[in-house]
Amino acid sequence: MAESFNPSAWREKLTDELLNNVTAFWLRHSLDREYGGYFNCLDRDGSVYDTTKHMWLQSRMVWMYSRLYNQFGGESAWLEAARLGLEFITRHGLTPEGRAWFSLTREGKPVFIQRKLFSECFYSMALDEYSRATGDEPLAAQALSMFDTVVELADNPHLLGRPMLEGQPQVNSLAVPMMLLCCAEQLAAGREDFSYTGRTDGWVEQILSHIDPRRKIVLENVKPGGDELPGSEGRLLNPGHAIEAGWFLLEHACGHDGGQYVQRALEMIEWSFERGWDGEHGGIYYFLDARNRPPVQLEWQMKLWWPHCEALYGTLLAWKISGREKFLEYFERTWDYIDTHLIDREHGGWFGYLDRRGSRTHQLKGGPYKCFFHVPRTLLLCVKLLEEIENR
């Protein structure tokens, strides 16, 4: 299979998808030139069906447009789009105490705040990536300051406003160390004095604690020491999330002499893809139960856009690093599913939500949890990786 794999042809295909379909769709429909920021609730044809602006998505889109500008040719329209969102989130996005809102009105009035730290993470990453495009040092300093807030929230969850109830078990959720590692990698690039470099090993160990090698699974939630939690929460599998964590670790290992956990990261991707792939109808399940008990998430059988995005890049990276043809087969299988079920050739962009059989449950292209982020990030990552493979 590897002998017939043409990285140049794949690079051209995915570049076309990134620029002429996905980016073109969101540039055409998402920019709010009256109030700033982005419309993230877009119907199939790009029309706006809700003007609520979700801060974590606004920040993700600032990051994405800035990353495109920084890594893919410096197109002025991308920087202008990033600026439109950057000005909105810095003007309206923070509480008086320095937290990030979860959602805002179109004009920028606060609607809701979450008891989670992810809006703050993406705010920090957005400011940092935009500062790299413009050389704005005060903005870079603000990004670092917000990450201080993120780490403080992670170390002291009660600051998020969550009541700590008597019967509530302590939980290490995979999402938190993943996000801390991702954000730290972003901010550390080019900064020898980055103050959290010494903590990344701890976040890596937290991620690794979710792996059960005996059962070949990656648990979404474990006890702080890595022991299994009781009940449905402790049996929860999220295959797309585990694959994403796997490629986070692979990238971190390649950049930090982390060869000791490359094999574990490859196993995370392999086991999660194999466990998560629906052998009857194709595609990756949203949730599963580690002991094949009934998942409590009613949407567990659905096929969402973002796990397939994570699998597309994760398997390509795993193949490049390991040379194992199994990962290349996973990559091509994932693309075939995406191409058949998710890409909208009529109106542009990608659909997000399918039932188990692959029929669309929603026509939308954007909503409170879907924006211009996972799809273009994956395509950009794949294109840059294919360039490396071509030049190898």
pLDDT at position 1: 67
85 alpha-carbon distance from chain centroid: 19
pLDDT for residue 255 is more than 90: no
pLDDT at position 259: 81
In this structure, of 14-28, 211-225, 244-258, 300-314, the range with the lowest mean pLDDT score is: 244-258
Structure tokens at 30: 């998402």
User: Mean of the pLDDT values across residues 49-64?
Assistant: 98
**Quick one: angle between helices 239-255 and 305-322, nearest 10?**
40
Cα 106 to Cα 109: distance, rounded to the nearest angstrom: 8
pLDDT digits (tens, 9 = 90+) for 317-346: 999 999 999 999 999 999 999 999 999 999
Give the SS3 label for residue 348.
coil
What is the CATH T-level fold of the domain 1-30+172-392, as seen in this structure? Glycosyltransferase (1.50.10)
Other beta carbons less than 10 A from residue 284's beta carbon: 24
Judge contact between 285 and 273, C-beta under 8 A.
no
Q: Radius of gyration over alpha carbons of the chain, in Å?
A: 20
Which segments within 210-340 are labelled E, that is strand? 211-212, 217-218, 221-222, 236-237, 288-289, 303-304
pLDDT digits (tens, 9 = 90+) for 223-251: 998 999 999 999 999 999 999 999 999 99
Structure tokens at 232: 């449905």
pLDDT digits (tens, 9 = 90+) for 72-119: 988 999 999 999 999 999 999 999 999 999 999 999 999 999 999 999
What angle (nearest 5°) sits at the alpha carbon of residue 266, between those of residues 197 and 204? 25
User: Mean of the pLDDT values across residues 14-26?
Assistant: 98
Percent of the chain residues topping a pLDDT of 70: 99
3-state helix, strand, coil in the chain (%, to 5): 55, 10, 35
Percent of the chain residues topping a pLDDT of 90: 93
Structure tokens at 229: 């939690």
Confidence grade of residue 163 (pLDDT, cut at 50, 70, 90): confident
Structure tokens at 239: 């295959």
pTM of the model: 0.97
Judge contact between 41 and 367, C-beta under 8 A.
yes
Give the SS3 label for residue 139.
helix
The domain locations on the chain are 1-30+172-392, 50-162
